[in-house]
Amino acid sequence: MQFWNKTLRAWSTLWFAVVAIVSFHLAYTIRNCQILFVLFFFCLFQLVNVKTSRRAFYVGLGIGLAIYAPHLSFFWTVFQGGAIALWVILSCWLGLFLLLGRACLPQFGVMGWACAAPFVWTGLEYFRSELYYLRFSWLNAGYAFSDAGTLPYFAGYGVYGIGFVMMALAAFLGVFCQLAWSWRITAGIAIALLLSFPAMAPAWQSPALRSFRITGVQLEIVSLGETARALDKAIQKFPDTDLLVLSEYAFMGPVPKLIKQWCRKHHKYLVAGGEEPTSPSQYFNTVFVVNPQGEIVFHQAKCVPVQFMKDGLPATNQSLWDSPWGKLGFGICYDASYTRVTDELVRQGAQGLIFPTMDVADWGGYQHQLHARIAPMRAAEYALPVFRLCSSGISQFVDPTGRVLESAPFPGQGEIMSAQMQLPATGRMPPGRWLALFSLGITIALSASLAIDCARDRFRNLRTAAK
């Protein structure tokens, strides 16, 4: 009998693990299948029932490798053998989630774990995405909704709030059969209220105040002459352009004199990425704004340089460009992936966001597709227009509801994207931001409590064995 119980438990673990892996991949690869994240979370919720904490961690690690490594296969192109370590480290966060869940069961029971699971998931997801050195926010639950028709609705929670809601629904389904009818009704009402929050929240209406024509050109590692000719082509195609945009690292240094002269000759504003030297060996990865007189009128350094790459020093401050049309905020490439960076721009009163980006063409098409999920989510979260200009695609102009209205493809050397950007009075801050911080605090407190209890039990066992 014991043998059959072990066999049944092993097959149950394998079944839930396989379903979790399949549902994650379907949610991230098939449009409008994002609701399958509820099934993914349901399987994770069930998998904390494995026999030991060690097994829970290894099951989570295995699932993490199976879901993250295929989507991040371009890591091998970028980091070679180091990609294996990065895949394992990212997967460890999933193992840690199941480990904490397995530790919660004997302490608080399945009902207690059902209440804690949404907070633990959100706290871990926020920490691994935003706060430690190897922070990496791609493949979060929320970003799966970036290309969904339901994005304008779900963005009302914020990118981390989406994961919280999906896990809360999965936990409710996981304990539904174990609840008395009165508790089923109570919990069902709570979940219904949570799911309808964006519909009940006051509609965010901020009418457009000013508009301007913004045009970007995709260029990757070209000469100054080619850059000038590409800018000529852009204004020939869109002569009413007010502001031109080039990508991050459009220049390997400050904006060249030739390009400043071009701005003066054509009487155009230009946003372009370059380097601002601080010493012979150090620099800031910077976006510069050149006015129609050929003068640098604004610059902003990159806040989060890419780890393991020569990407400059982190910015010492953030500010907005008070442009002729309104206040514009800049996030350079990787900066857009971090809410703690873009939130600051919105807090300062940004009316529109511009993301100059360099994604090397050699990294492959799927890397560009994953990175392209960021801009729609940011636009919909903040209810602000976003213009993302990438060196080799996928460039996007996104309206405040998260709809991609204009785009330029990958690979797309020399492709031109133009849009009329309408600036609202102000943006919004989604509630998922404070929820993520609150969840992080709960997760830290819960982890500390479980660690203390574990240490106390071990000490007690040692004393008993010594006697």
Q: What is the pLDDT of residues 328-383, one digit of tens each?
A: 999 999 999 999 999 999 999 999 999 999 999 999 999 999 999 999 999 999 99
- Judged by average pLDDT, the poorest of 65-69, 181-185, 200-204 is 200-204
Average the pLDDT over 406-424 and give the result.
95
Which residue is it, tokens 């996007």?
Answer: 396
- Between CA 368 and CA 316 the distance in angstroms is 28
Predicted pLDDT of residue 205: 61
**Residue 23 CA neighbour count, 13 Å, CB half:** 18
Average the pLDDT over 65-72 and give the result.
96
Question: Is the model's pTM score more than 0.85?
Answer: yes
Q: How far is CA 287 from CA 48, 291, 296, 318, in A?
A: 47, 13, 10, 12
Contact 308, 82 (CB under 8 A): yes
Q: Residue 182 gets which letter from DSSP? A: H
DSSP-derived 3-state class of residue 183: helix
H or E element that contains 298 = strand 296-301
- On the question of pLDDT at 463 being above 80, the answer is no
Contact 329, 320 (CB under 8 A): yes
Predicted pLDDT of residue 210: 87
Q: What is the largest CA-CA distance in the chain?
A: 90
- Between CA 195 and CA 189 the distance in angstroms is 10
- On the question of pLDDT at 203 being above 60, the answer is no
Predicted pLDDT of residue 1: 40
- Between CA 460 and CA 153 the distance in angstroms is 52
260, two tokens:
């400043």
Evaluate the omega torsion of the peptide bond into residue 259 and state whether it is cis, within 30 degrees of 0.
Answer: no
Instruction: Tell which phi-psi region holds residue 349, choosing left (phi > 0), alpha (psi between -120 and 50) or beta.
Output: left
- On the question of pLDDT at 198 being above 90, the answer is no
Strand partners, 145: none
Average the pLDDT over 391-395 and give the result.
93
pLDDT top residue among 136 and 394? 394
Average the pLDDT over 242-248 and give the result.
97
Q: Residue 249 gets which letter from DSSP? A: T
Average the pLDDT over 300-329 and give the result.
94
pLDDT top residue among 149 and 266? 266
Contact 145, 151 (CB under 8 A): yes
- Number of residues in the chain: 467
128, two tokens:
């691994």
Strand partners, 102: none
pLDDT, tens digit, 9 for 90 and up, residues 250-261: 999 999 999 999
pLDDT-above-90 percentage for the chain = 71
- Between CA 428 and CA 451 the distance in angstroms is 38
Instruction: Tell which phi-psi region holds residue 315, choosing left (phi > 0), alpha (psi between -120 and 50) or beta.
Output: beta
Q: Where are the alpha helices (DSSP H) in 244-393?
A: 257-266, 339-347, 365-371, 374-382
Predicted pLDDT of residue 91: 96
What type of residue sits at position 343?
D
- Between CA 382 and CA 401 the distance in angstroms is 9
Average the pLDDT over 20-45 and give the result.
93
Mean pLDDT of the chain: 91
Average the pLDDT over 261-266 and give the result.
96
* 68: phi then psi, degrees, rounded to nearest 5: -85, -45
**Residue 369 CA neighbour count, 13 Å, CB half:** 13
- Between CA 343 and CA 319 the distance in angstroms is 12
- On the question of pLDDT at 457 being above 90, the answer is no
- On the question of pLDDT at 4 being above 70, the answer is no
- Judged by average pLDDT, the poorest of 40-49, 80-89, 116-125, 185-194 is 185-194
